[in-house]
Amino acid sequence: MVTELTRCEKGRRKQAQTLSSKGRAGPCFAPSLCLERDRDMTNEEHTTNTGVRKAQERLHIDNTTKSGFNALDSIGKSDSSHARCFTYVASDGSQKKLPIVYPEVSYVTNFLLNEDLPGIYHSSFAIDNFYFADRIDEFAVVDPGANALFIDVGAYDLCGVEFLDEALVRTGTAWEDANVFLTHSHDDHDGNLAYCLDRGAKRVFMKELHQFGPNAVQDILTQWGVVRAGESELSFYIERLVNRCERFKGYEDRITFVGDGDAIDVGDYHLEVIETPGHTASHLCLIEREKGILFAGDHVLDTAPGIMSFTADVRQLQRFLANLAYLKSLDLERVFMCHHEPLIGAPTINAFIEKIIASYERPINKMFTMLEDAPLTVNELAQKYYFYLPSWDDQPPILHVRRLAIAFSYLEYLYDMGKAERQVAEDGALLYALK
């Protein structure tokens, strides 16, 4: 059964013993960029239509596309008065509508519901015109006819809802006996959450998100030097990335906040929560220690960068890399990833992790070479870093935001490691220079 939550002190002790025996030092990057894992560090939560859609056979699509809609410039933007909508029937018989956020994305089913391990079901979808990934993999741990736990739920635009419905139908499990675990709040991971809850899912397990204040977006734009440069069109996209709490309104009574050591039991699997801040400040993984299984979310990605930071002083990139290094101590046998084939066997897993960690050395050192004696803003340094682009101004706003956030994480890393100085200008912009 799915437990409400159990406290896994055994896991905590094992974790502590592993860290103690192996030491706390992580990999080192030139110029002397040393990483360290600190599980007690304060985790401040400043934290892509034309594909094959089997769901269309049973779900109505309302095509009222706004005339002249430019998906490239507006990707990620939903306007309920103009957007195409996904319509479904909730458990109480009412009709629900969700606007399609990524109208240009198409997807095809690579495979639907493989049982990779007893009770662990896996589906994969290939997606086009989504800027941040070319596939989405979804997972569920199911005790057939009893309980199910969906580990992330995708988004209708990006992979439909076939996996969610089919997993329950095939295993004879009711929606009322299903739960959801969110590794983190990004559209491709929590976009179908309302659908799950409206269909009858019992509970959502997730890390509590930081409640940003009303001026958060403006503060970020100011800190990055974007306001100084007069680029106001980025506000909408930052809003979507930082104010994630809005999508959970109305479902608060079915949300359980979890953290390190909490556990969920489904059938023969005892799934323990591991906090893995980095990709987002609130990222979580699930581990089955006895069987050496990890549901990694986006903590394990096949390319850098896997991190975007929006608030200074959280050591987000440092924590991300150190958390990756920590996984090598866990003797994992299988890692389920959300945008990649599963990794099988400890040598393969550890080599993959090493490759990810090493992939950050070049961009961090590249950013280091961009620093000058004269202090520069994040916006200025991002444009220097991405000098190879034909024109910064011709890039869509969503990519501006992503690249600014990436540059910011590198700069904060260099600042924290004592390789860069940071000061606050009178207008609130953060300025970085060689130390």
In this structure, the number of other CB atoms found within 10 A of the CB of residue 103 comes to: 21
The pLDDT assigned to 6 comes to 52
3-state secondary structure of 95: strand
Contacts of 426 (CB under 8 A, 6+ apart): none
Question: 401, 220 in Cβ contact below 8 A?
Answer: no
H or E element: which one contains 89? strand 85-89
CA distances from 303 to 132, 248, 306 (A): 11, 30, 7
Residue 31: asked if its preceding bond is cis (omega within 30°), the reply is yes
Which pLDDT does position 228 carry in this prediction?
86
Residue whose structure tokens are 């987000």? 316
List, edge to edge, every strand of the sheet that includes 262-266: 6-7, 262-266, 269-275, 284-288, 293-295, 334-336, 343-344
- CA triple 9-12-18, angle to 5 deg: 145
pLDDT of residue 232: 65
Domains of the chain (ranges plus CATH)?
54-358 (3.60.15.10)
| Strand order from edge to edge, sheet including 420-424 | 376-377, 430-434, 420-424
pLDDT of residue 74: 41
Contact 36, 318 (CB under 8 A): yes
Per-residue pLDDT 10s for the chain (435 aa) are 555 555 444 444 334 333 333 332 333 443 334 434 333 333 322 222 222 223 332 233 333 332 222 333 444 444 444 457 889 999 999 999 888 888 889 999 999 999 999 999 999 999 998 878 899 999 999 999 999 999 999 999 999 999 999 999 999 999 999 999 999 998 899 999 999 999 999 999 999 887 777 788 889 999 999 988 776 678 877 877 777 887 888 899 999 999 999 999 999 999 999 999 888 888 999 999 999 999 999 999 876 666 777 888 778 888 889 999 999 999 899 999 999 999 999 999 999 999 999 999 999 999 999 998 889 999 999 999 998 877 887 777 878 888 899 999 999 999 999 999 999 999 999 999 999
Q: What is the DSSP letter of 389?
A: S
| pTM across the whole model | 0.81
Q: What share of the chain is helix, strand, coil (3-state, %, to 5)?
A: 35, 25, 40
DSSP-derived letter for residue 21 is H
How far is 277 from 41, CA to CA, in rounded Å? 11
197: which 2 tokens? 């809850």
Q: Over the range 109-119, which residues count as b (16 or more CB within 10 Å of their CB) and which as e?
A: beebbeeebeb
